[in-house]
Amino acid sequence: MVRTANPTWLTKPYFIPNEKLSFVLDSTFSSEYNHEVTAGRRTSYLLETPKMCNAMRYAAISTFLLISMHVQAGELPSGPPVEVIQGTPPGYEVVRLTAPNDFAIHSFADINDRSDVIWSASFPPDISNIHIFRDGRFYQLTGNEAYDVRPTMNNNGDYTFLRGQFATDDDDIVLVLGGEEIIIDADDAGSAPVVGENGQVVFSDDFSDNFTHVELFLYDGRTTTQITDNGLSNQTARLNNIGDLVWSAKDTTQSPWSADIMYRGFRGVTQSLTTTLNARSAPDINDCREIVWYESGIGVMLWKDGVAAPLTSQNERAPRINDSGELVYLRWDNQAELWRVVVRFVDTEHILGDEIYTFGVGHMNNRGEVAWLGLHDTLGWTALFMMRRTAPKGDANGDCRIDFLDFAMLQHCFTGPDNGPSVGFLADCTRADFDEDGDVDMADLTLFNTAFTGPDALVPDCLP
């Protein structure tokens, strides 16, 4: 393992305009928060509403965040265009995160509870960079010195990815934790590494060069431990924020192949959740220890409280589940001959339709937001999409209430008349500019007071 405190592409920390990505949290409000997570230079407060599993909506408020990133100005639009996608649920909108003239090969995107979306854009054989969409702006996180691909990210903004010199190279694992770059040695890492809330990273190593023998490893912040040794193809590992791990253990010696879904608790005990021979893949686990996966001939399976049961029946693939029990998965559309992204809230499905793109794996956060990859059906171009919450003016944390927590945002964004930033506000401050005149002044404060609901009432027609 090699620690690099100052990556070669980074000349100095980059400050977002106004020097803060999120709003200042007034000390008088701190009693409203019941979780505190410290990571690097940032302290995040996580608000649960209410305090129970399967009903958790997180609003992450940061007192101060110093981002170390490389910025390529002008290569991407300043704000993503809204796409008209059939089936978009009420209270959400779909935006396209990649420009129409962006011909890079894009990886699957990851999304966290801050609504940050991260991905890689590659031009084989020697150029691939990591990009992030944050607070309405696009940033390039890595330079051109290496071939960086397949990032994932946690709620603290830490991220990990694969790094080689060329597209065909054996890869190492890079973890950016609190602004510090850490190199985790790997002989032949293949699938995307996954980073947990506490900085743990799980990754795979291919011992066979054809993915018939793949073992998993866990980096705990100091040391790397091999956690499988079964000679199988252990793939698609997922890590929750408690430290629990799931993956598929594929036996390629049989025809047809079969796979078991494996679970490893944070105490290190591993068990199989399946007992019959079948093709299975793409498991996911939330912080409530609910586990979903694809089961051949059925679709999405849910393991909960020790019992596995089918959730769907149309051979849906690649499920992801959040802490509210909401899901996103793929379903084949026989008529259009395209894969569709399906968002499932409680027992209601929203099928996102587009006649140009067939959709790939989607990732979902605890706000019910989804980021996914699209493949142009005829030209083969890739594009990234995000289904995001649409918060009303004044609602900084997206809980459909306008109260004193949101007033902290108004204080932070206050500029006075005709004194707004020339480059435009970031996403949170656009919600403070009620009259949309490019500044936040007393006129906006008056409109905020008019819209004020208090903590016990909801904004009409807003989906919390």
One domain, residues 236 and 105: yes
Q: Find, among 111, 118, 127, 197, the residue nearest to 161 by Cα.
A: 118
Contact criterion met (CB below 8 Å) for 370 and 111: yes
Mean pLDDT lowest among 11-15, 164-168, 439-443: 11-15
One domain, residues 303 and 351: yes
User: Of 367, 384, 401, which closes a domain?
Assistant: 384
One domain, residues 146 and 282: yes
Percent of the chain past pLDDT 90, that is, above it, reads: 53
Contact criterion met (CB below 8 Å) for 445 and 452: no
Q: How far apart (Å, rounded) are the C-alpha atoms in residues 215 and 194?
A: 15
- Number of domains the chain is built from: 2
Q: What is the pLDDT of residues 276-287, one digit of tens each?
A: 999 999 999 999
Mean per-residue pLDDT for 441-458? 94
Mean pLDDT lowest among 18-32, 98-112, 114-128: 18-32
One domain, residues 58 and 108: no
One domain, residues 277 and 373: yes
Task: Using alpha carbons, list the distances in angstroms from residue 204 to 55, 221, 464.
Answer: 33, 17, 38
Mean per-residue pLDDT for 37-56? 36
One domain, residues 226 and 243: yes
One domain, residues 281 and 428: no
One domain, residues 240 and 298: yes
Segment (H or E) for 264: strand 258-264
One domain, residues 296 and 442: no
Contact criterion met (CB below 8 Å) for 111 and 132: no
In-domain check, residue 464 = no
Mean pLDDT lowest among 5-14, 180-189, 453-462: 5-14
pTM: 0.78
In-domain check, residue 11 = no
User: Of 330, 358, 384, which closes a domain?
Assistant: 384
Segment (H or E) for 449: helix 442-451
In-domain check, residue 72 = no
> Does residue 119 carry a pLDDT above 60?
yes
In-domain check, residue 457 = no
Q: Cis peptide before 319, with omega less than 30 degrees from 0? A: no
Q: Are β-strands 137-140 and 245-251 bridged in parallel, bridged antiparallel, or unpaired?
A: unpaired
Of residues 412 and 343, more confidence is placed in: 343
Task: Name the DSSP letter for residue 155.
Answer: T
In-domain check, residue 289 = yes
Percent of the chain past pLDDT 70, that is, above it, reads: 80
User: Of 354, 384, 414, which closes a domain?
Assistant: 384
Give pLDDT, residue 29: 24
Task: Name the DSSP letter for residue 13.
Answer: P
Contact criterion met (CB below 8 Å) for 189 and 201: no
Please provide the average confidence, as pLDDT, over all residues in the chain: 80
In-domain check, residue 320 = yes
Local confidence band at 9 (pLDDT 50, 70, 90 cut-offs): very low
- For residue 327, the domain's CATH number is 2.120.10.30
> Does residue 185 carry a pLDDT above 50?
yes
One domain, residues 296 and 410: no
Mean per-residue pLDDT for 239-250? 95
Local confidence band at 58 (pLDDT 50, 70, 90 cut-offs): very low
One domain, residues 345 and 440: no
In-domain check, residue 2 = no
Give residues with Cβ within 8 angstroms of 120, minimum separation 6.
Answer: 106, 107, 128, 129, 130, 131, 148, 149, 150, 151, 161
Q: Find, among 172, 162, 106, 164, the residue nearest to 373 by Cα.
A: 106
Q: Find, among 286, 15, 7, the residue nearest to 135 by Cα.
A: 15
Mean pLDDT lowest among 168-182, 321-335, 411-425, 450-464: 411-425
Q: What is the pLDDT of residues 81-104, one digit of tens each?
A: 778 788 999 888 898 999 888 889
One domain, residues 263 and 396: no
Note the maximum CA span of the chain.
71
Q: Would you call 339 helix, strand, or coil by DSSP?
A: strand
Give pLDDT, residue 423: 61
Give pLDDT, residue 153: 96
Domain that holds residue 321: 82-384
In-domain check, residue 417 = yes
> Does residue 373 carry a pLDDT above 60?
yes
